[in-house]
Amino acid sequence: MFKRLGIAAETEAKITRYADFAAVRDHVANGHGSEIGFGATTVIIETARQGLRYIGPLPAELQNYTTYTAALTANAGYAARALLRYLAAPAATTIFTAAGIQ
């Protein structure tokens, strides 16, 4: 991403990569105020109580999207059909949006 922005040379020495978002969260939350972390929107939003603040999404051309799809099998039961109906309902869309899911 920094290469695409043309700032890789300036930022390379300052970048620390972590194995998971918990480590990113801890680094940013316990930092000196100049740290920036990147992670999934949903994970950042759910850690707000731990000292992080979601600033906003990356520009679309830099964004990495994950798409989820659900399908029913021919013998899907009532519960599976009800779950998919719920996930497609406006109420679920509101919940997803509040969690940072588009």
Helix or strand holding residue 5 (H, E)? helix 2-5
pTM (whole model) above 0.85? no
Mean pLDDT on 26-42:
87
What is the predicted pLDDT for the residue at 75? Answer: 93
- Which tokens in the block code for residue 81? 């059909």
| Per-residue model confidence (pLDDT) at position 44 | 85
44: its two tokens = 């950042």
pLDDT at 41: 84
What's the rounded Cα separation, in Å, for the pair 84 and 43? 23
pLDDT in tens, 47-102: 877 777 888 888 888 888 888 888 999 999 999 999 999 999 999 999 988 877 87
Q: Using 50, 70 and 90 to split pLDDT, how confident is the model at 9? A: very high
Task: Provide the token pair at 92.
Answer: 């679920």
